[in-house]
Structure 1
Amino acid sequence: MIDNINKKNKNNVIWQYFYINKIKREKLNNHKSALLWFTGLSGSGKSTIANALEKKLYFMNIHTYILDGDNIRSGLCSDLSFIDKDRKENIRRVGEVSKLMVDAGLIVLSTFISPHRFERKKIRYILGKNQFIEIFIDTSFNLCKERDSKGLYKKVSNKKIKNFTGVDSVYELPVNPEIILNGEQKISVSVNKIILLLKSMKII
């Protein structure tokens, strides 16, 4: 019964097109829009690199916005847990929000562990060609555990957290990311590599 109602409601939903579109917004901003999808283990450096990158892009007059995992879970996805089903729904919501923000003409920097390869692939599909840039922060588990800036690995060791990625929950490595960054290198090196990639793709 519920499925029939949802199907009927979906049939009544028609996407509304407006005069001001992504192409016009990109022209106004003087750069292309895209989604930079940072993925990697907790503590790999996703948020740190994204923060440094956004700062550099800001001083280049590039319009950006960071979607951070913890920030999203404090609001939009505060109703979700960390079981696989909810993790997938978390990423689905972020993908849809990212799509809207890319349509708004922004370069969106999303920093999520996003452990499932298929979920990342789905976001790539809904964004379209050259709109989804997967950035894998390749940092060893031991280094992530050593950093433990949020104290999460310690909580895992004390059995206060379950379903933790890399420990008792799977992380599926990206197959063909646009760029792989060594999590042990200097932040400035990682940032410059991403900038070069964006320039080579003629996004900025």
Structure 2
Amino acid sequence: MKTATTVGISASTLFYMLCGLLGYAAFGNDAPGNYLTGFGFYDPFWLVDIANVCIAIHLLGAYQVIMQPVFGFVENWSRRKWPESRFINKEYAIGYFRINLFRLIWRSTYVILATLVAMMFPFFNAFLALIGSTTFWPLTVYFPIEMYIVQAKIRKNSFRWIWLRALSLVCLLVSCLAAAASIRGLIGSVQTSKLFLSES
């Protein structure tokens, strides 16, 4: 797990830093949100299609990781609130599958509504940047560092403890700056966008 986390976070950080730094160095504030199609470059079309498929696969997995706890929370709360309800608690066996009508309807409705909202507000890159900037520090930096400090029993105010806290603080500042930039981008997008008209 430690190796997978190290490789995953390092690769993501390297990729995003290269795109951000090289994109800004090359294009300044005119850097597009999508480097493949931001300049009107659609050939070779298969390259753009492969990139879009990779993005869809990535987002499907990320969506599941983020939403499963939310779905579980609502379903557990509903079971406790209405323990006698057959609609909420009864499961039906269909072959190897176990279907619960409440779970099926609740999750399907949520996904449909989330998709409609995403289509209505087309500033995808700015919104995704805000989500990424607000979740980066706590999930990728703060909690893992705090868990490591406790697990490794690192002495308070030791050299290692200070550097881990300094790393966490620097990443917090980066996240705050990224969130501020994302909010500025969202405000600009809200002022110029039209519903159901893509801007990315």
TM range (shorter): under 0.3
Greater strand proportion: 1
Q: TM-score, normalised by structure 1?
A: 0.24
Structure ID, larger Rg: 2
Greater helix proportion: 2
Q: TM-score, normalised by structure 2?
A: 0.25
